[in-house]
Amino acid sequence: MLRKRSLRARIISTGSYAPEKVLTNHALEQMVETSDEWITERTGIKERRIASPEQTASDLAYEASKQALKTAGLKPKDIDLIIVATVTGDTPLPSTACVLQRKLGAKKAAAFDVNAACSGFLYALSMADSFIKSSAFKKILVVGTEVLSKFTDWKDRTTCVLFGDGAGAVIIEPTEEDRGIISTHIYSDGEFGDLLLVPAGGSSIPASEESVKKRLHYIKMKGNETFKVAVKTLENLVVDTLKKNKLKPSELSLLIPHQANLRIIQATAKRLKLPMDKVFINIDRYGNTSAASVPIALDEAVRQGRVRDGDYILMEAFGGGLTWASALVKW
Ligand code: COA
């Protein structure tokens, strides 16, 4: 009897895009009562990118996707499936993935969105991995894109200093080689949903004059409580992911964490006893871009030559929902 070779999903290319406009901590000092020193010490953020009034999540996704397609030497019509992770999509209906499909002219592709907040890209990657392994699709475009600036309360200093806009994309396809996505892990706990949310705009509190007046369409976060849960959860997540794959932290070439807070990233690295030069950090330039954060970081790591063939890289994220997720990849 013929033994079927096991299929793996492999990331064959990456791309990313961030809007041109840079908002520095010093500029924020003119907008709310804050300081460059406070923001830098508490978060590690120095500046973030802000979309123009006309730019939407699908516009950012389009730029990142075009780059990933070019790097892979593929045309939009080669793509079978588009998964977009976002919590700041163009409209509640249709999905941002369908808008992106139209903009790209990816006629053949099925398309849908995933909402898992900052963990969204890794949730989407996990699904794409399963679709490849089951041979349902051959070429999948996975995108994380956010225009958080349009959901940010620019009068609330506890949140407005944290977020930024951007998009990252990857293309994955099947391989029979000993490389690719080794394992993905996705988790959630809805009990903590009130730590990080946008209260209005859904069926719970539909848009009304009152909801706008009460500023309920903006992101609300209990920052300190979220911080504590994030540190504990991510520490356990990275340790478990390595354990499940019988890998020692020293065998990791690069940790690509969600960029929410430098102190959270440092705590995760410390738990793995990883030196910080094995941890990818760009939070200083982008802030927290939610679902876009991990794919932007991955794209920059690849373009900077920090990911080489055969390297083990670990990606992880934590976000609203609550949700958390990881992916171990052999490049
Ligand atoms: N500038 C100056 N002071 C500020 C401020 C700002 N932008 N924002 C808050 N403060 C003040 C607070 O009002 C508080 O003052 P008080 O002690 O007089 O009440 C003080 O700074 C400390 O606030 P706190 O919220 O306890 O700070 P923190 O050390 O927890 O840092 C965050 C705040 C938001 C940076 C941090 O909690 C965080 O990163 N949280 C998690 C983010 C995350 O992981 N999100 C999930 C994924 S998206």
pTM of the model: 0.97
Which residues, in sequence order, are bridge partners of residue 319?
A: 323
Structure tokens at 124: 């989407």
Residue of 219, 223, 213 lying closest to 199 (CA atoms): 219
What digits encode the pLDDT tens for the residues 299-323?
Answer: 999 999 999 999 999 999 999 999 9
- Over 70: is that where the pLDDT of 3 sits? no
Task: Tell me the backbone φ, ψ of residue 245, rounded to 5 degrees.
Answer: -105, 10
- Around ligand 1, the residues with Cβ closer than 6 Å are 34, 38-39, 42-43, 118, 157-158, 161-162, 196, 223-224, 226-227, 230, 260-261, 264, 288, 318-319
The rounded distance, in Å, linking the Cα atoms of 44 and 285 is 9
What digits encode the pLDDT tens for the residues 240-286?
Answer: 999 999 999 999 999 999 999 999 999 999 999 999 999 999 999 99
Residue of 92, 88, 40, 73 lying closest to 292 (CA atoms): 88
Q: Regarding beta strands 21-24 and 47-50, do their DSSP bridges make them parallel or antiparallel, or are they unpaired?
A: antiparallel
Following CA atoms 148, 152, 158, 162 in sequence, which dihedral angle do they give, to the nearest 10 degrees? Answer: 20
* pLDDT confidence bin for 5, thresholds 50/70/90: low
What digits encode the pLDDT tens for the residues 28-53?
Answer: 999 999 999 999 999 999 999 999 99
The rounded distance, in Å, linking the Cα atoms of 199 and 222 is 13
| 288 catalytic residue (yes or no) | yes
Q: Which helix (H) or strand (E) holds 100?
A: helix 96-104
CATH (residue range 8-178): 3.40.47.10
The rounded distance, in Å, linking the Cα atoms of 327 and 315 is 5
The rounded distance, in Å, linking the Cα atoms of 240 and 242 is 5
The rounded distance, in Å, linking the Cα atoms of 64 and 100 is 11
pLDDT at residue 177 in the model? 94
Q: How far is the CA of 225 from the centre of ligand 1 (A)?
A: 10
pLDDT at residue 138 in the model? 97
| Contact in structure between 132 and 305 (CB atoms under 8 Å) | no
| 98 catalytic residue (yes or no) | no
Which residues, in sequence order, are bridge partners of residue 14?
A: 170
Q: How many beta carbons lie within 10 A of that of residue 75, not counting itself?
A: 12
| 160 catalytic residue (yes or no) | no
What digits encode the pLDDT tens for the residues 115-165?
Answer: 999 999 999 999 999 999 999 999 999 999 999 999 999 999 999 999 999
User: What is the residue extent of each domain of the chain?
Assistant: 8-178, 182-330
Do 8-178 and 182-330 agree at the fold level?
yes
Domain 182-330 has CATH 3.40.47.10: yes
What digits encode the pLDDT tens for the residues 82-123?
Answer: 999 999 999 999 999 999 999 999 999 999 999 999 999 999
Q: Which helix (H) or strand (E) holds 242?
A: helix 223-244
| Ligand 1: residue whose CA is nearest its atom 11 | 158
| Contact in structure between 57 and 28 (CB atoms under 8 Å) | no
pLDDT at residue 6 in the model? 83
* pLDDT confidence bin for 63, thresholds 50/70/90: very high
